[in-house]
Homo-oligomer: A and B are copies of this chain.
Amino acid sequence: MARKPTKAATPPAVRANAKDSAHAGNDAVPASSRATRAAERRAAIVDAAMEEFIARGFAATRLDDIAKRAGVAKGTIYLHFKDKESMFEELVRTVIVPVVTRLTALPPPAGSVRDLVETFASNFLKEVIGTRRGDLVRLIVAEGPRFPSVADFYYREVVSRGIAAMRSLIELGIARGEIRQKNLAHYPQILVAPAMIAVIWQSLFARHAPLDAQDMLRVHLDLIFGERSTT
């Protein structure tokens, strides 16, 4: 869609003293420079690929479909990615990084630890569970074993950081007396486990039995921090 609007859009002035009469048509790039256009295309491909990989998994996804969805020709994909595998790998990186940075841009540690964790959980709910990004998590779980580099990357960039962050929070909670269970700091996974389960549940069983993730997480936090006094 909107395949070749450029030709008409080219302001004549731009081509003023163009001497390259032979193949002048191509470089009629308007406002967005060539580089920008390329970046846009790449983004379109990444988005399309994401959709397809999530829907079908790596092996069953056809580059043809990605190209169609992205509105580019199949060959164009190869101008941006070496092959299907590296596309998948880079894709995961590309999509994950901003998520991580957003989530780790934690609000300054004001208020109680529980508040912090709750804010975090609430962000997670909005940003991940039941969204495309949640599906990405499932995709990584699915394809991880066949793409060690992806699993490694995910572990390094997301999991280990997340675990570390959770551990800090837990330790802070323990220090402040909000958390009783001292051993919890050894297994921050416990803190996130229900959230992860919620992600997977939504992908697989939502239509059998919808899950109120928010409420579940609240109950879980009550377990850890003690039931909240209803103010």
Distance to closest chain B CB from A7 (angstroms): 12
- A28-85 CB contacts (< 8 Å) to partner B: 55-60
Decide yes or no whether A174 CB sits under 8 A from chain B.
Answer: no
- A77-130 CB contacts (< 8 Å) to partner B: none
Q: How far is the CA of A194 from the CA of B187 in the complex (A)?
A: 10
- Is there an interface contact between A219 and B183, defined as CB atoms closer than 8 Å? yes
Main secondary structure of the interface of A (DSSP, over half): helix
- Is there an interface contact between B194 and A190, defined as CB atoms closer than 8 Å? yes
What chain B residues lie within 8 Å of A227 (beta carbons)? 180-181
26 A-B pairs (CB sep. < 8 Å): A55-B145, A57-B143, A59-B59, A60-B146, A138-B141, A138-B145, A141-B141, A141-B142, A141-B204, A142-B142, A144-B203, A159-B205, A180-B227, A181-B222, A183-B219, A186-B216, A187-B194, A189-B197, A189-B211, A190-B194, A190-B219, A190-B223, A192-B197, A193-B194, A193-B196, A196-B197
What chain B residues lie within 8 Å of A181 (beta carbons)? 219, 222-223, 227
- Is there an interface contact between B216 and A187, defined as CB atoms closer than 8 Å? yes
Number of residues from A at the complex interface, CB < 8 A: 52
Q: How far is the CA of A92 from the CA of B186 in the complex (A)?
A: 35
Distance to closest chain B CB from A202 (angstroms): 11
What would 20 more interface pairs be, CB under 8 Å, given A141-B204, A183-B219, A190-B219? Answer: A20-B22, A55-B145, A56-B146, A57-B59, A57-B143, A141-B200, A142-B142, A144-B204, A145-B203, A154-B204, A159-B205, A160-B208, A181-B222, A181-B227, A186-B216, A189-B216, A193-B196, A196-B196, A197-B197, A223-B224
What sequence of 0s and 1s flags, for each residue 184-221 of chain A, a beta carbon within 8 Å of any chain B beta carbon?
A: 10110110111011101101110011010001100110
What chain B residues lie within 8 Å of A58 (beta carbons)? 57, 59-60
- Is there an interface contact between A208 and B59, defined as CB atoms closer than 8 Å? no
